[in-house]
Amino acid sequence: MGRLGRYAAVISCLVLGLAACKGAEERASSPNSTQASTKVEVVSSGSLAAGQPIAPPTGAVVLTMSGAIRARNQGKNLALDLASLERMRTTRLVTDEPFLKRRATFEGVLLSDLLAVTEVAPTASKVHLTALDDYTVDFSLADVRSSQMLLATKHDGKHMAIDRAGPIRIVFPEGSKVGRNPDLWIWSVSTMQVR
């Protein structure tokens, strides 16, 4: 590359760098900035905590948990309906939904909170999720505890129907390393096995 080519490359890099800085400034000063809007906000502190018995569901079961958990209400399993999930601490986050390609508001239970309530065994290291269509995703417990992934029960203020990715799904706040992979945004979750 000649001197003129190198000069053009340097100018191009400077222009791109300035454009990126300006974009970052605009995002930071915007009231809808990523930093402000992706904060996980507590909606309800809940009435169900670790160590408390979880009654068998009275409504439709939306999640069946098994494996290395202490809490059980259906033989070797823990069956949860929406009412049971919503008795736990619930949170809200606004994030970019990768399939709808727009910002959306989700409410639900942090997966780490759910695992605390179900009293996961200290030897466990993985969470295996299966959707109604048999799609599966695995998360390490370390990722679950660090990523603030949400087991969402509501999307834009409404419970989600099965044909709208419900009744429960996993969503991530922006900036989550785990959530960068859209394949991990599993919806219509039906079972969870802690291993």
pLDDT in tens, 23-45: 444 433 333 333 334 678 999 99
pLDDT, mean of residues 140-157 = 96
Helix/strand/coil percentages in the chain, nearest 5: 30, 35, 35
* Contact criterion met (CB below 8 Å) for 154 and 106: yes
Question: What's the pLDDT at 164?
Answer: 94
Q: Is the pLDDT of residue 154 over 70?
A: yes
> 14 versus 164: which is more confidently predicted?
164
Global pTM value:
0.80
Q: Is the pLDDT of residue 150 over 70?
A: yes
- The dihedral over CA atoms of 173, 190, 163, 89, expressed in degrees to the nearest 10, equals -40
CATH class of 34-194: alpha beta
Please write the tens of the pLDDT for every residue from 44-103: 999 998 889 999 999 999 999 999 999 999 999 999 999 999 999 999 999 999 998 999
| Half-sphere exposure at residue 13, Cβ-oriented, CA atoms within 13 angstroms | 6
* Contact criterion met (CB below 8 Å) for 105 and 158: no
CA–CA distances in Å: residue 143 to residues 30, 125, 128, 178, 184? 30, 10, 13, 7, 12
Please write the tens of the pLDDT for every residue from 127-148: 999 999 999 999 999 999 998 9
> 189 versus 27: which is more confidently predicted?
189
